[in-house]
Amino acid sequence: MTDKPTALPARAHFSSGPCAKRPGWAPENLAIESLGRSHRSKLGKARLKLAIDLTREILNVPSTHRIGIVPASDTGAYEMAMWTMLGARGVTALAWESFGEGWVTDAVKQLKLEPKVHRADYGQLPDLSKVDFTDDVLFTWNGTTSGVRVPDGEWIAADREGLSFADATSAVFAYDIPWDKIDVATFSWQKVLGGEGAHGVLILGPRAVERLESYTPSWPLPKVFRLVSKGKLAEGVFKGETINTPSMLAVEDAIFALEWAKSIGGLEGLKARCTANADALDKIVAERDWLGHLAVDKGIRSKTSVCLTVEGADADFIKKFAGLLEKEGAAYDIAGYRDAPAGLRVWCGATVDTADIEALGPWLDWAYATLKA
C-alpha cells in the first residue's frame, strides 16, 4: 500500500478553467476605485484601456491589430467573429476536440454554412497541410479538452485569401502567436491569466476589419455582436468603450494579472513558467508506467492543458480518483473534460507554481493505489 503523502501542494488549483489565480492574488490587492462608477467615466474608460494596452504589450500585438473587450468570455468573442464575418466565402473548420467541434456545430446548425471539416481523434491533429486558405479557416490554437495544440503558425498561408480565426483562449500568454498570420484571435481572462470569465478579448487584424466594413451577413445580429456602425468599425470598442456594461471587478482582476505578467518578464516569463510546469508534469508521467500522455507527439502536446491517460481507467474510476484528491485538498478539478476519453487533465499555465506540480506526483500514486486496492 502506498503511504498517504504528507505534503500538500500549496495551491492545489489545477483546473483548466477558470484557472489558478496569479501568485499573490487576494481580493484586497485589487484596485477598486473604478467599482461603483460608470464604466464610461474617465476612470472607467482609462482602466478598460489599460487592460487593452497591457494585453498589447505582453502579447506583442502589433499596431496593425485591434484589441477589444467584448461580452460573454471566449465563447462570446469567437461567436461574435463567426456571426459578423462568416458567409462571405467558403469556410474550412478544424476540429480535434470538443471546442473546435462546437464551432463546427454552430457554423452548420446555426449559420447554415457548409464548412469543409478536417477532423482528428482526441490526442491528434488533422493534416494541416491540407487546409485550403482560399476559405475562411476556423481553428483552436490549443485544444483544451484533448491537450493538443498546433505546433506553430507555419501552416497558415501568408498569402491567404480567406481569414484565419484562432480560438486562442488556452494558448495566448503561453505560446508565441505569429500575429501576421492571425486575422481574428479570441481569448478569455479566465485561462492563462487566471482572471475571471464574463468577458472575452477579440483581436482583429486589418483584413478582418476590411471584411467587417465591406460585408453584411444575411442573418440578424444581436446588439452584443455588433461591431459596425453605419458601415464603419465601431472603433470605440477597441479603446475601452465596451458595447454594454462590463464587470469592472473582472477588469480590475485582469489588470492585476497583467501587471504580474509584466513584472515577471512578460510573455517570456509566462512561457518559462508554463514550460517548467509542463516539464515537471512530464517527469511525473515518465516515472510511472500507468500514466501516459493523450497527445503522444510532444511537438503538438499542449503545455497548458495537459491531458493524461491512466491505465485501465474508465469514467467512473477517474471521477473517484479526482474526487479523492479533491477531498484531501491535494488537487482540484483534474478529471478530464466530460466529452474527452477518460483521463486526467492538469493545467500547467503560468499561474500555477512548479513546486505544486511536483508535489502532485506522490498524491497521484496514492490515489491510484487506493482505488486499485
Instruction: Please list every residue from 169 through 228 that binds ligand PLP, using CB under 6 A.
Output: 169-170, 188, 190, 197
Q: Give one word for 285, left, alpha or beta, with left for phi > 0 and alpha for psi -120 to 50.
A: alpha
Q: Contact with ligand PLP (CB under 6 A): which of 51, 74, 277, 365?
A: 74
- Which of the ranges 45-53, 71-79, 111-119, 341-349 carries the binding residues for ligand PLP, by CB under 6 A? 71-79
For ligand PLP, which residue of 34, 92, 140, 146 counts as binding (CB under 6 A)?
140
Among 101, 106, 167, 183, indicate the residue that binds ligand PLP (CB under 6 A).
167
Using rule CB under 6 A, residue 253 touches ligand PLP: no
User: Is 22 or 45 the residue whose CB approaches ligand PLP more closely?
Assistant: 22
Residue 95 CB, shortest distance to ligand PLP, in Å, is: 11
According to DSSP, the residues that pair with 272 across neighbouring strands are none
- 309 binds ligand PLP per the rule CB under 6 A: no
Residue 191: CB minimum distance to ligand PLP, A: 7
Tell me which stretch binds ligand PLP (CB under 6 A): 107-115, 120-128, 164-172, 218-226. 164-172
Burial of 278 (0-12, 13-18, 19+ CB in 10 A): buried
How far apart (Å, rounded) are the C-alpha atoms in residues 252 and 30?
6
Question: Under a CB-based contact definition with an 8 Å cutoff, are residues 64 and 206 in contact?
Answer: yes
**Each residue of 235-265: b (16+ CB within 10 Å) or e?**
eebbebbbbeebebebbbbbbbbbebbeeee
Distance linking the first and last C-alpha atoms of the chain? 8
- Is residue 146 a contact residue for ligand PLP (CB under 6 A)? no
- For residues 102 and 361, which CB has a smaller minimum distance to ligand PLP in the complex? 102
Strand partners, 330: none
Is 75 a residue that touches ligand PLP (CB under 6 A)?
A: yes
Which listed residue (12, 14, 15, 17) binds ligand PLP by CB under 6 A? 17
- For 97, the grid coordinates are 476536440
C-alpha–C-alpha distance, residues 320 and 326, integer Å: 10
Size of site (CB under 6 A) for ligand PLP:
13
Q: 133 near 308, Cβ under 8 Å?
A: no
DSSP 117: E
> Where does this chain touch ligand PLP (CB under 6 A) — which range of 20-28, 165-173, 220-228, 280-288?
165-173
Q: List contacts with ligand PLP (CB under 6 A).
A: 17, 73-75, 99, 140, 144, 167, 169-170, 188, 190, 197
